[in-house]
């Protein structure tokens, strides 16, 4: 069979029709085959062990600290599969069993309304904290309905702000006004399916009468607007997102005119009280001084608007160290940095003489530390969590300049005895050193390798009771590849695998796989790989480009058809990452690694499992459907499972998540253990 190319050559285009009878029948048949093959007592035991982890009432409830004296948390367990939105006081949270004030029970709401709502988040009215805008999706999709909620009355507001299902963006201005970007009708969305228009909507008036604030271009990713209610620093901002990495931020004056904040389009910027923080993604020269990509710069906001360019370097990257995140307290800026994927934490404090740095307590050698939340309006306290592959999380409450107190510990979900964490470096095809972690026993055997390699997202160490119980506890080894395309070494590490450089990520992952074998940790027949979303594209590329390296492959909610990805759901928003297949020059390199277009007969492809969701409105399930059908046509060993619910996470609750993980781990274990 000739390689697929243009749409006319695609024999499985019909599988992109979500609800068409033939497509639904095909999905039902594939699901039945997969469940019949995998669901036996061993599968049930794995699923139930994973479900215990996900439903454990002893898990740490990671809170949001919204500034009104409460910690807010969204919680799921066996008794509340769709979850509770709840809050408690800071002092009560310290207790082993805090008394939680339930604000909204999503399961009870579903029963009352006959719906299948999945929690989509909340926007709180500040500084009163008595109203919020709740987002709810049907089945876990990105598209949500928005409804105003009264925290005092514990009820949705009759005739309050409400939006029908769409990929909306909303935020409070004051109790009677909100900014809203949504589907206002034909022409109001970008080609990516996100808001192109943002308006100011007054309570009690029709949405059709809302005041236009800003209008972007159809080829933008999205636009948005927001209000900062910080006393003494009340400001409004408008954001225009040109693509995934380029944006423009404007200050909106009270009269409605916009003042652009003059930073490069590819720089991230943030305003906090007096300060403007700028993080360029490429080198930036200002008044004869060049600041490196990935640096963090600070300057006074109002003088900067007036044209002054007094920039202070708060963080300067090097070849091994990058900025992971930063968080404001009331008077300090907390930085989390990574050196060879190992975190360090510092607090920076500005005064009349400049910025002063002090280290904060961090994690162990192979543990990861991250700032959970802080209250930038009221105090200098912060919540910080540390965990590692074999070390359950510890959540601490700290104060800059004061003590750090552990207030919550995650339970141990598996016995780590006989296991160790090691870090190695593989050498990629072009000589680049690629770090990766190996977790498990010091013996050869079945190994699960995962990776992502895109969108400047770093894979850092973390405790997973799911992997622990479902893989490590049965004697398997777990490995994580920190390949290019990710954010482990900052923007340059990501940029190396952009667009025509995407094959660098694939070469890196293949190098890690080969290194695992060379070190005697596993064999190709016992090496399984797993990845989702962009990581699913990675899995498809490994299957079609390096099949001899692996014994089994799992691709979840994968991106696989690089010819049509921009025409499916949110795909157009990723052109900056991958390229535009409608551009002849871009298609020339996309064609070389598009998994769907590189399936060939008679290849040593290992067994593969595709997992997706009908309601994934980010990466279309047609990618996985078509790839599975094409591989089946050539007689390859292909399994397929598609949940109706779940959205891009492929699961809407813990029961579904446990099933997905059990399918993944049982599929891999049986294929690799038999090798």
Which residues participate in catalysis according to the annotation?
533, 648
Q: How far apart are CA 425 and CA 415, in angstroms?
A: 27
Question: Half-sphere exposure of residue 26, counting CA atoms within 13 Å on the CB side?
Answer: 21
Which element (helix H / strand E) includes 326? strand 321-328
Q: How far apart are CA 541 and CA 505, in angstroms?
A: 10
- Please name the residue that has the structure tokens 């948390």: 73
Residue 257, Cβ density class (10 Å: 0-12 exposed, 13-18 middle, ≥19 buried): exposed
Backbone angles phi, psi at 317, to 5 degrees: -75, 165
Backbone angles phi, psi at 435, to 5 degrees: -75, 150
Q: What is the per-residue DSSP string for 578-613?
A: H--TTSHHHHHHHHHH-GGG---TT--PPPEEEEEE
DSSP state of 189: B
Backbone angles phi, psi at 438, to 5 degrees: -125, 130
Query: What does the CA dihedral 172, 173, 174, 176 come to, rounded to 10 degrees?
Result: -80
Q: How far apart are CA 83 and CA 109, in angstroms?
A: 10
Q: For residues 213 and 179, is the Cβ–Cβ distance under 8 A?
A: yes
Q: At 45, is the secondary structure helix, strand, or coil? A: helix
- What would the two tokens of residue 492 be? 């340059």
Q: At 111, is the secondary structure helix, strand, or coil? A: helix
Q: How far apart are CA 64 and CA 123, in angstroms?
A: 12
Rg (CA), the chain: 25
Q: How far apart are CA 197 and CA 279, in angstroms?
A: 27
- The 3-state secondary structure of 396-423 reads EEEECCCCEEEEEECCCCCCCCCCEEEE
């Amino acid at each position: 069979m000739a390689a697929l190319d243009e749409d006319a050559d695609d024999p499985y285009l019909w599988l992109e029709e979500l609800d068409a009878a033939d497509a639904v029948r095909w999905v039902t048949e594939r699901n039945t085959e997969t469940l019949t093959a995998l669901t036996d007592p061993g599968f049930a035991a794995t699923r139930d062990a994973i479900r215990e982890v996900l439903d454990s009432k002893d898990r740490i409830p990671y809170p949001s600290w919204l500034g009104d004296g409460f910690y807010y948390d969204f919680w799921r367990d066996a008794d509340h599969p769709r979850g509770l939105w709840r809050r408690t006081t800071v002092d009560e949270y310290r207790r082993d069993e805090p008394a939680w004030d339930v604000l909204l029970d999503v399961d009870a709401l579903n029963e009352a309304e006959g719906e299948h709502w999945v929690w989509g988040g909340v926007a709180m009215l500040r500084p009163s904290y008595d109203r919020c805008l709740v987002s709810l999706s049907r089945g876990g999709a990105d598209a949500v309905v928005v409804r105003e909620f009264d925290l005092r009355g514990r009820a949705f507001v009759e005739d309050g702000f409400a939006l029908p299902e769409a990929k909306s963006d909303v935020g409070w201005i004051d109790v009677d006004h909100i900014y809203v970007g949504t589907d206002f009708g034909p022409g109001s969305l970008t080609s990516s399916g996100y808001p192109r228009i943002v308006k100011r909507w007054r309570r009690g008036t029709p949405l059709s009468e809302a005041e236009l604030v800003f209008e972007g271009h159809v080829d933008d990713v999205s636009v948005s607007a927001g209000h900062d209610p910080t006393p003494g620093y009340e400001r409004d901002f408008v954001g225009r997102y040109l693509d995934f990495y380029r944006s423009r931020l404007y200050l909106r004056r009270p009269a409605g005119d916009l003042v652009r904040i003059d930073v490069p389009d590819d720089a991230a910027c943030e305003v906090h009280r007096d300060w403007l923080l700028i993080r360029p993604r490429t080198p930036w020269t200002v008044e004869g001084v060049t600041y490196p990509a990935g640096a963090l710069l600070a300057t006074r906001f109002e003088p900067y608007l007036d044209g002054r360019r007094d920039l202070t370097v708060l963080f300067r990257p090097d070849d091994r160290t990058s900025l992971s995140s930063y968080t404001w307290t009331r008077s300090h800026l907390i930085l989390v940095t990574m050196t060879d994927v190992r975190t360090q934490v510092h607090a920076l404090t500005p005064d009349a003489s400049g910025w002063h740095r002090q280290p904060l307590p961090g994690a162990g050698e192979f543990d990861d530390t991250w700032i959970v939340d802080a209250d930038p309006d009221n105090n200098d306290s912060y919540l910080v969590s540390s965990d590692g592959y074999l070390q359950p999380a510890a959540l601490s409450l700290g104060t800059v300049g004061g003590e750090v107190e552990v207030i919550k510990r995650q339970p141990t979900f598996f016995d780590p005895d006989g296991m160790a964490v090691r870090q190695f470096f593989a050498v990629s095809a072009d000589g680049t050193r690629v770090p990766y972690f190996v977790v498990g026993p010091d013996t050869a055997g079945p190994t699960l390798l995962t990776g992502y390699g895109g969108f400047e997202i770093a894979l850092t160490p973390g405790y997973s009771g799911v992997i622990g119980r479902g893989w490590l506890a049965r004697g398997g080894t777990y490995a994580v590849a920190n390949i290019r395309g990710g954010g482990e070494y900052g923007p340059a590490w990501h940029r190396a695998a952009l667009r025509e450089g995407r094959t660098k990520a694939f070469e890196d992952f293949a190098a890690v796989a080969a290194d695992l074998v060379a070190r005697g940790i596993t064999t190709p027949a016992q090496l399984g790989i797993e990845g989702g979303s962009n990581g699913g594209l990675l899995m498809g590329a490994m299957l079609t480009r390096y099949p001899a390296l692996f014994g089994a492959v799992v691709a979840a909610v994968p991106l696989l058809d690089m010819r049509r990805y921009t025409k499916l759901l949110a795909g157009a928003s990723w052109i900056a990452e991958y390229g535009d297949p409608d551009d002849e020059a871009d298609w020339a390199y996309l064609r070389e690694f598009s998994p769907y277009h590189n399936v060939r007969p008679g290849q040593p492809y290992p067994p593969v499992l595709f997992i997706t969701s009908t309601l994934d409105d980010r990466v279309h399930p047609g990618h996985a459907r078509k790839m599975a059908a094409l591989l089946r046509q050539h007689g390859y060993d292909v399994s397929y499972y598609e949940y109706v619910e779940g959205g891009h996470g492929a699961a809407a609750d813990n029961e579904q998540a446990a099933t997905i993980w059990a399918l993944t781990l049982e599929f891999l274990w049986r294929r690799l253990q038999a090798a």
